[in-house]
Amino acid sequence: MRPVLFIVIPCYNEEQVLPVTAPMFLSQLNSMIEAEKISDNSRIMFVNDGSKDKTWELISELSKQDCHFTGISQSRNRGHQNAVLAGLMEAKDVADITISIDCDGQDDISAMDKMVDEYINGAEIVYGVRSDRSSDTFFKKFTAEGFYKLLDFMGVEVVFNHADYRLVSSRVLQEFADFKEVNLFLRGMFPLVGFKSTSVYYERHERLAGESHYPLSKMLSLAFDGITSLSIKPIRLITTLGMVIAALSVLGLIAILITTIAGHSVTGWVVMTAVLTLLGAIQLIGIGVVGEYIGKTYMEVKGRPRYIISERTADQNKKEH
């Protein structure tokens, strides 16, 4: 039996790029169907993430033009990660495999062939990994690679240079459905599920149209979220830092004691002030980091829904009735 593939594509204000990339996704899907790799029941599922432009109208239109296009719409903008999750959860009971990919054509669509081959060879998760970043500016390259190194240092297991282009089998998604956290960092969560996994390398291009939704500030907040959602190492680091400073202070006190006994008076209010401000700053950072975890716990305890689907394209309604 050929597997049913669902390509899950989050879209937020993508009216410029969708008309360009939708036919590319379709021809990729058709070529895999013709090569008898996947079933004809495979679909391209767009997830509209509360777009303010004509994205949803475009998706509805596409689903009328070709039965391989389908779509769901979130009731409001919830961000990329939640949109991908909504699509994957929607697909997990109808598909055998899913591939999540951005809708802007930056990720090499033809790498899907290799991903499906790896699935057929037994992998349950196939990570799409960027082989080079030559299309990126120096700044983007530097910050993005720093991002992965920081995650690794902080104890978050991620595949280097892998974003959210990945194949996941429905078997893994059934297990993944039990990961109920509301603070999502999908690329750090899938390695936790386990199962046989592998990587496929591809070159990443520039966006075909429109603008990135990930400026530096959003990237930093994603990195921070990723770390604090998946690791408690920052709290440990603070504790270690506290212990190191305490040890140094004791050594300092002993030194002062010895010099005083030896008859030298110790002056140096400048050094004292500097040390006090440093300690104050470290304490504030410590409280901030701990506060971040309390905030995250607060959000988790409330357990609000991670996505709300408000609309589905007409083809799905037909199926239900």
Contact residues toward ligand UDP (CB under 6 A) are: 10-12, 14, 49, 77, 79-80, 83, 102-104, 106, 212-214
Judged by DSSP in three states, 102 sits in coil
Q: Which is nearer to Mg ion, 96 or 102 (CB)?
A: 102
The CB-of-187 to ligand UDP minimum distance in angstroms stands at: 12
Q: Is the torsion defined by CA of 96, 102, 103, 105 positive or negative?
A: negative
Cα–Cα–Cα angle for 316, 113, 18, rounded to 5 degrees = 50
In the list 106, 228, 229, 313, the residue contacting Mg ion (rule: CB under 5 A) is 106
Distance of CA 100 to the CA centre of its chain: 11
Q: Which is nearer to ligand UDP, 83 or 126 (CB)?
A: 83
Residue 13 lies near Mg ion (rule: CB under 5 A): no
C-alpha dihedral (132, 138, 109, 179), degrees to nearest 10: 90
The CB-of-103 to ligand UDP minimum distance in angstroms stands at: 4
The CB-of-50 to Mg ion minimum distance in angstroms stands at: 18
- From 61-69, 97-105, 191-199, 222-230, span contacting Mg ion (CB under 5 A): 97-105
What is the per-residue binding string for Mg ion in 50-89, x denoting contact by CB under 5 A? ----------------------------------------
The CB-of-80 to ligand UDP minimum distance in angstroms stands at: 4
CB contact at 8 A, 109 and 101: yes
CA distance 112 to 76: 30
Residue 104 lies near Mg ion (rule: CB under 5 A): yes
Q: Which is nearer to ligand UDP, 64 or 76 (CB)?
A: 76
Q: Which is nearer to ligand UDP, 73 or 229 (CB)?
A: 73
CB contact at 8 A, 147 and 223: yes
The CB-of-10 to ligand UDP minimum distance in angstroms stands at: 3
CB contact at 8 A, 123 and 196: yes
Q: Which is nearer to ligand UDP, 12 or 190 (CB)?
A: 12
CB contact at 8 A, 93 and 10: no
Q: Which is nearer to Mg ion, 9 or 184 (CB)?
A: 9
CA distance to 47, 50, 91, 125, 167, per residue, from 171 (Å): 21, 29, 12, 10, 12
Helix (H) or strand (E) holding 18: helix 18-34
**How many residues bind Mg ion, per CB under 5 A?**
3
* Token pair listed for 304: 């609000």
Q: Which is nearer to Mg ion, 97 or 163 (CB)?
A: 163
The CB-of-106 to Mg ion minimum distance in angstroms stands at: 4
Residue 11, contacted partner among Mg ion, ligand UDP, none, CB below 5-8 A by kind: ligand UDP
85: Cβ contacts below 8 Å, ≥ 6 apart: 184, 186, 306, 307
Q: Residue 251 — φ and ψ, nearest 5°?
A: -60, -45
CB contact at 8 A, 105 and 16: no
Residue 77, contacted partner among ligand UDP, Mg ion, none, CB below 5-8 A by kind: ligand UDP
Judged by DSSP in three states, 318 sits in helix
The CB-of-107 to Mg ion minimum distance in angstroms stands at: 8
Contact residues for Mg ion, defined by CB under 5 A: 102, 104, 106
